[in-house]
Structure 1
Amino acid sequence: MSVENAKLAYLDALRAGLAVWVFWGHLSGYCGWHVPVLSTPGAAVDCFMLVSGFLMVYTTRSTLGTATTVHNAMAFYLGRFFRIAPLYYLTLLVCAPVAAEWDQLRTQWHQALHGPHAVGYEEMTGLATWSGVVAHLTFAFGLIPSLVSSVPLPDWSLSLEMQFYLLFPLMAPWAWRHPVGRVAVVMTSAVLSWLTPIYFGSYTEPGAWFHFVQPSMLLFKLNVFVAGMLLAAWHARGARWGGAALSTVVLVAASLATSRPQVWMFVALFMYLLSSPTSGLAAFFSRRVFGKLGDWSYGIYLIHIFLVFPVLWWLEQHWRLSAFSPAQRFAIAAPVCTVVVLAVSAFLHRAIEMPGVKFGRRFMPRR
C-alpha cells in the first residue's frame, strides 16, 4: 500500500529497499557469494514485519484506536485480504502446473555449482493435494510444518501477516492505552520469540515438538510486529526525543531482544526519519522513483524466487555462469534478474494489485 501522507513518503523507499534486499540477498546466496548484511534476507523480512506493524496502527488509528467492533474487525481483515490475496492467488495458479519443472531447474542449477552429486532441495509439492491447495488459499499453511516452504514462493511470511491481521484488531486499542498494558504485551511477545524456536524449530534446527523450516507462525515474530506498533504510537505523540522516546527505545529494545543486529540498525534509521520528516535524508527517500519501487515491492518480494532460477539456468546454458567466480556470477546475474523481476512486478502491480486494493477499500471502515 502506497503511503499517501507526504510526511511519510519515505516509507515507500524503505519498503523498496527491503524488497530489493531480500531479492538480492537470495540471489547472492544462489550464486554462492556471501556478502555481509546483503546475505541476511531474513533480517529484511523482519524489517518488513516491523513496518507492517507500524502501518497498521498508523492507517487505522481513527477507526481501531480506541475500541474494536466486530464490523470494524471484519472490514479491516477483508481490506488487508484483498491487498494480499489477488496477486498471491495468481502466482499460485501459475506455479501449480510448472512446480515440478521449476524444481528441476533449481536442482540443475544447484548441481552445476556444487557437482552432480550435490544434495538437492526439498520438492515443491504444496499444491499437489487438495488439502495443500486449501491450506494455501486460506493462508493456514504457515501453521502446518510440512507446508511452510512447499511452493516456489517465499509465501511463508504472507501466512504470518494474515495471522497478524486476525489478531491486530484486538491489539490496536492497546497501542493507545496505559503503559502497563504495553509492557505486558512487549514482555509476552519477547518471551514467545525466545521460547518458540526451542519447541517449534528454527530454520535447519528442529524443535522439541515440531520443525518449522521458516518462522511462519505468529508466535515466532509477534515481537517484531509489536515493535512497529510501538513506533507508531510514538509517532502519534509527535515523535519527539525525550522521555517518550526513551521509553519507546526501551520497549522496542525489549521487544527485539532476540532479533538480528541489522534489524536494530533499521530501527535506528526508522526512528530518525520519523523524528526528522523534513531532513535531507527524508526528502531524498521521498523521491518519486522510490515511490514507484515501493508500489512494486510486494511483487518484487513475492515473485523473485520463482523468476530467478529460470534466468540463472538460461545464463548457465548460454554463458556457463557456473564457471565464473561467485562475485562474477552475481555481477552477471543481478542486472538480468533485476530487469526481469522489476518488469513483471510493475505489470502485476498495475494489472492485479491496484484493482485488488481498490476493491478491498470498499470493506474498510470509514473514518
Structure 2
Amino acid sequence: MDGRARLADAGYMHAITLNQPAPLAENPLHWGEVPTPSPGPGQLLIEVAACGVCRSNLHMIEGDWVDGGVPGICPIIPGHEVTGTVVAVGGDVDGFTTGDRAGVQPLWWTCEQCAYCTSGREQLCHRRRITGEHVDGGYAQYLLSNAAHTYHVPDTLDLTEAAPLFCPGITAYGAVQKLDLGPGTTVAVFGLGGVGHMAVQFARLTGADVIAVGRSADHLRVARELGATRVVDASAEDPGRTLADSVDAAITFAPSDTVTEQALAALVWGGTLVAGVPLSVSDFPFNKEQTVKASLLGNRAQMNEVLALAAEGKVRSVVDRFPLREAPEVLGMLAAGKLRSRAVLENRAA
C-alpha cells in the first residue's frame, strides 16, 4: 500500500499548512499530515489535481494582510485556484457527482441574498469567504468546496493548465470586460505575470491592438507568443514616455505607483485605466477626462465564459509545474521574479 492510500484509509491527507504568518525566510509553511475533511450539505470533496500559486498567497503567508483579518483562521491551507476530481458529494447538491472534473476559484462562498449577489456582482459580497484565506485551500491532496461556487472543467482541458483559469483567467477576463475594446482600438497591459499573460489574450480576442508592457524578458517573450501586437521593455525605457497619449485603454496588474503614472501617461485624453491591483494616484490630470476603474475577479457567468473560451482553444495558460510539497520553494521563486508566467503545484504521489 503506497503512502497516499494509507493516508486516505486513515482519514488523513498531505497538505501545506500555515500555522502563523511570517516572512518566507522564517519557514512558516509546513508539509505534513492533516485530517481529510468530509463534505457537509451543499459541499463537495475534491481530490486536488493542481493548484496555482498566486502572489496574494505570498502576501497572506508573510502577514501583509493580518490587519485586514487575513488569514481568517490559523492554521490554514493556502491556495485558491484549484482543479481536481469530485470524490464525495454532500447533501442538497445538484449538478455534481463523483468523478466529475471540477474547479474552484478564490470566491469560495457568498451569501446569495445581498444586492451584489442578486445582481450578478457576487464578487463584491461583503460576507464573501475566500478560498485559502478564510477556509482551507488547495495546497493539499483534498479540498472541501462549496458546490454553488464550483465549476465543471471541460474534458478537453488539462487539469494543471486549467488551474490558473480560476484566478488569473477570471481576473484578466473581468478587467477586459470593463473596457470597450474592438478593432481600431489599442490597449496596453502593464504587468505580464500570471494575470497579465491572460489579459493579453482576452484583449486580442476583441480585435484590439495589444501592447504588452513588462520588465522580464521571459514575460515579454510569452506575451509575443500569445499575440501581443507590440512589447515594451520597461527595464530599458519609460513606457509612459514611449507610449505617451497613444492608447485608448490600459490595464495594470503591477502594484506600483510608478506603473500607474506610466499607464495614465500612455492613455489618450478620455481614455480608461482598469486597475486589477491596489493603486494610489497623485496629481491626477482631471482636464484629460480620463477614467479609472477597479476590477476584482468576475462573476460566475464570466467564469463559465472563461472556461468555454479555453475549451475552444482561444486562450491558454502558460504554466510551470512543481510538486505540491515544493510550495515554499516555488513561492520563493515568485518573490524573486524567477517564474515565466504561472507556477502550478501538482498533487503527485506523496
TM above 0.5:
no
So what's the TM-score if we normalise by structure 2? 0.25
More helix by share: 1
More strand by share: 2
Relative contact order (alpha carbons < 8 A, sep ≥ 6): 1 or 2 greater? 1
